[in-house]
Structure formats: structure tokens, C-alpha cells
Amino acid sequence: MIRHKKKNYCIAVLLIGLALLPCDKITAQETSNPAVVISKDLKWSERMALSILKRDPKAWQIDNNEKTKWDYKLGLVMTSFQKLYEATDNPVYANYIKDYAETVINSSGEILNYKLEDYNIDNINAGKMLFDLYARTKDDRYLTALKTLRKQLETHPRTNSGGFWHKKIYPNQMWLDGLYMGTPFYARYTAEFEGGKDFDDIAKQFEQIQLHTLDPKTGLLFHAWDESKQMDWANKETGTSPNFWSRSIGWYMMALVDVLDYMPKDHPKRKELIQYLNEIAKSVAKYQDRTGLWYQVTDSGKKEGNYLEASGSEMFVYAFAKGANKGYLPASYKKLANKGFDGIIKKLITVDADGEIHITQVCASAGLGGNPYRDGSYEYYIKEKIKTDNSHGLGPFILAALELKK
């Protein structure tokens, strides 16, 4: 990759390969020109990023959105673009993030469609892009938005044992998803702005998940826990939901490896989090299919209706690879990660004639409760919509590819 420092450049992917042209030479229409070809010689991380740029010149258009919004899924994709920018130094990826941020944060630092009083832990996740944006631009609107999201965590409702509720509309509940939505942002904020004062509280979030969702039989973690045990989906003795959903476990594992980026090496809770990672990695590895992939309902294998699901598989690959790269996990997990990534490419990636790539078999969404009611049954998880190029499958693919340098 050629590196340019003095002028913003946009990517034009041509029949002859990859060329860099000044931004003012390329319109959005040209960027999404179906005649554009993405070189097969690029790494998978850039092939996916360029495919996203080709389909969706504006980040908010991902998932066929009709207008921009502050959204945890788009935040996940922006996180992957930030990591790609760090790896390539190509400003087109940074510009994609900045362009999205400017559509959801106004000049006063107010966040579009965000209400602190909703106490939705999902709303924290997109805030991760703001740290580097603020560092690059010194634009105070991003600092204001960061402070707003940190303020939410100060007053966010909690279980009696100190765990963040998933949302105000889901009282007394912790979901595995929420650990990724909240703790990496919390960890970076307290490391960079607060002298690391809240790492004990961050560790507490993982401690509560381990205490309340761990299944001693499989070693896997149930999707959620209701402290009140009042939800219809909750086990009346333990409060746990009834099934293991691969993406939720993937969210949790990504949260662990990302939080450890910021937790000081001498912090007493660091070893505890690494131990949690090793325990869940060992259990998840047992359920890796011969294809290298994992099923939507993690422990149910080829049971009727179950399928090899993209996003959970990608998240496991990312966590295994990063854990091994950082020395948190034994080196053998790098081999499992490579096997998983190869399975993703072979079974789930399709390539168009012009080089555009697509990720298939992505569970569009899954949760518990709400209206219509989601009961957490096996039948519920396998019947949720399955999509191609859903954002849940885009970001983790790039992150996994980057960790493996594929």
C-alpha cells in the first residue's frame, strides 16, 4: 500500500488494480460504479472494506438504512475501519469514519437520536470511534460527545450486584452483548482521561457475567441473566436464558481482548480477565465444526434448523487470534483462528466478477423479551432472519482478517 501524508486521497479500484486519486476527482456515484473491480491481490481486510465503500459510499447507508443514525452496528464497522486505517495509513478509511461522525454529531457535540435517559448500553459502542477522531482533529464536538457517553455510565442503572442493565426497558438484566457495547469504551476512557480509576468496576462487569451466566456442564455462557428471575425466558432458579447464542459469546470474548488493551499489566484484576478468556476459549473451541466455523446455537451442532453462522464465527476467530497474538491465550489458538478464517472464506464469502466480496449467513438480529416477544428458545434463534452483508458480519470480518494478516 502506497502511503500519502500531505493530501487526502480516495480509492478508485480499477481494472488495472488499485489506484489512488484525489478525493475531488471521485463522486459518490463513481465510487459505487458497478464497473469497479477490487483486486484479488489485496488482503481480505481491504477487499471487504473496499466492497463496503463500493456498495455504501456513506457509512450510514450500510444495512440499507434510509437516513443516518447513531447506531452500535455502524460503530462496530467504524471500529474495524479505524483498525484498518492504523494498519494501512490510508486516509480513505479515516475519512469514511469522519464523514459518518459528522452526520451524527452536530457542531455542539450533540449526538443524533441519542437520549441519555434511555440508558441503552448499545448506545455506548459507537463512541469508540470518537477517541481517535478527537486525537486527529482536536474538534471539541467529539470530546463533548465522549463526555456525554461517559456520563451515561455514571448513572446507568445496575443490578443489585453492580452490573449494568442492558437497557432501561430490560430492567435487572445483563446480556453478554452489553459487555462489548460498554466495557471497551469505559476502559479506554478511564485509561486516557481518568488515570485508570475505574478498572475495578470494569472487571466487576465480567465477574458478574461469569458468576451468573456460566453453565458448568458446557463451560459456555448463556445469552443473558435476569436478576429478578421474573422474565418468562428466565430460569426460575438461576435467572439465565435457556440457550447459547454464538454471537453473544463472541461479543463477550471480543470485549475481553479489547478491554485488556487498556488495563495496566500490574492491575490485580488483569490476570482474572485473562483467566476468563482462557476458560471460555477452551469451551468454545470444543464446538468448532470441522469446517472451522461455529453454529448459530453454539452447542446444538447439526440439529435441524441450526446453521453455520458468520458473525459469531468471525468474533471467535478475532478473539482467538488476538488472544494468541497478545500472549493471553496459548499459541495453539492461532491455528484454530486460521482454520476458522479459512472456513469463512470457503463457506461464507462470495466474490463477484468485479471483485466485490459478500459475507453470507449472518444472523440479522437476536435478543430477548420485547414486542414481539423473544423467548430465547432454540426455535427462536434459528428462525431469526439470515442476511448477506449485514453489519454484524462486516466489522468482525475485517477485525479477524487484520489479526491474522490474511
Residue numbers annotated as active site: 177
Rounded Cα gap, residues 223 and 221, in angstroms: 6
Nearest to residue 149, comparing CAs of 188, 176, 177, 175? 188
Going from the C-alpha of 325 to that of each of 82, 206, 257, 275, 319, the distances in angstroms are 19, 22, 10, 16, 10
Rounded Cα gap, residues 11 and 330, in angstroms: 38
Contacts of 201 by beta carbon, 8 Å cutoff, 6+ apart: 162, 186
Written as one string, the DSSP assignment of 348-368 is TEEE-TTS-EEE--EE----S
Rounded Cα gap, residues 271 and 277, in angstroms: 10
Residue 342: Cβ-neighbour burial (10 angstroms; 0-12, 13-18, 19+): middle
Cell 476502559 maps to which residue?
A: 187
Cell 456515484 maps to which residue?
A: 29
DSSP 330: -
Written as one string, the DSSP assignment of 190-210 is HHHHSTTTTHHHHHHHHHHHH
Rounded Cα gap, residues 121 and 180, in angstroms: 9
Cell of 271: 490476570
Phi, psi of 47 (to 5 degrees): -60, -40
Rounded Cα gap, residues 55 and 399, in angstroms: 19
DSSP-derived pairing of the beta strands 224-226 and 173-175: antiparallel
Going from the C-alpha of 336 to that of each of 80, 250, 329, the distances in angstroms are 21, 15, 12
Asked if residues 112 and 106 have their Cβ atoms less than 8 Å apart, the reply is yes
Beta bridge partners of 173: 226
Cell of 193: 482521561
